[in-house]
């Protein structure tokens, strides 16, 4: 069998873990931790997330406003923010910064979280995010077949986009140009907007997007 040429990098990382007496299930996790607590469930263990920096929160607020306004204008589905757990498996749950569920899949959005596959997940990466966490995040979203993922890297000023196609993923990294969603009908953003200081006016951005409605309409 041919040896893979894939290079592996050794890194040393530290993280806080809350250890239960046995692996927690998703149902136990959502019962124990409220929506105000930034924690994820990984292999039955509770992993606290690092406090977000202002640059992260500013972009999160902007994206949430723009995406919610657009989705509601065309009644495309449901948008949720960073305190909605997505069930990955019995002992795993993630809290993406943003997620979108198409209207026809709305039944997966339940009181305790997302019980199914979101159509889009958006993660805003911060310098404190470890490489192992980023790989684990992507692996988890791949495992449930998320059709579209955005990983917005504030340090490198780039977006890594994954689109599911024919059982695999097409991967593209963008530093500029127009990013067009394949699951939020007609939704697009210029990549440069995500890294502007200050960010573009959110309401003016929404008005610009509403001027170019989904191609299916």
Would you say residue 170 lies in a domain?
yes
**The pLDDT value given to residue 45:** 87
The verdict on residue 85 lying in a domain is: yes
Domain contains 139: yes
Give the range of the structural domain holding residue 168, as residue numbers without chain letter: 52-210
Given a cut of 80, whether residue 11 has pLDDT beyond it is: no
When divided into structural domains, the chain yields a total of: 1
- Within a domain: residue 77? yes
- Report the SS3 class of residue 102: strand
Counting beta carbons within 10 angstroms of the beta carbon of residue 4, is it exposed (0 to 12), middle (13 to 18) or buried (19 or more)?
exposed
**Rounded mean pLDDT of 10-38?**
80
| Res 217: pLDDT | 39
C-alpha distances out from residue 31 to 17, 27, 112, Å: 18, 6, 8
Residue 142: which CATH number? Answer: 3.90.1570.10
Does the structure show a pLDDT above 80 at 168? yes
Between residues 167 and 150, the one the model is more confident about: 150
Cα radius of gyration (the chain): 18
Which pTM does this prediction carry? 0.86
Residue 3 domain-assigned?
Answer: no
Q: Has residue 47 been placed in a domain?
A: no
């Amino acid at each position: 069998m041919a040896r893979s040429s894939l290079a592996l990098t050794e890194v040393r990382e530290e993280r806080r873990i809350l250890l239960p007496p046995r692996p927690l299930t998703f149902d136990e996790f959502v019962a124990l931790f409220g929506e105000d607590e930034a924690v994820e469930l990984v292999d039955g263990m509770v992993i606290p997330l690092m406090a977000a920096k202002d640059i992260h929160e500013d972009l999160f607020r902007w994206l949430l406003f723009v995406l919610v306004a657009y989705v509601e204008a065309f009644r495309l589905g449901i948008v949720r923010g960073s305190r909605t757990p997505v069930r990955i498996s019995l002992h795993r749950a993630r809290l993406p910064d943003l997620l979108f569920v198409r209207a026809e899949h709305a039944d997966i959005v339940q009181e305790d979280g997302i019980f199914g596959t979101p159509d889009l997940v958006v993660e805003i990466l911060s310098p404190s995010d470890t490489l192992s966490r980023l790989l684990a995040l992507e692996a988890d979203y791949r495992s449930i077949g998320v059709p579209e993922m955005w990983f917005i890297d504030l340090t490198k000023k780039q977006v890594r986009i994954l689109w599911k196609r024919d059982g695999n993923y097409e991967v593209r990294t963008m530093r500029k140009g127009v990013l067009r969603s394949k699951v939020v009908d007609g939704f697009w953003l210029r990549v440069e907007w995500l890294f502007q200081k200050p960010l573009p006016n959110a309401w003016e951005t929404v008005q610009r997007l509403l001027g170019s409605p989904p191609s299916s309409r």
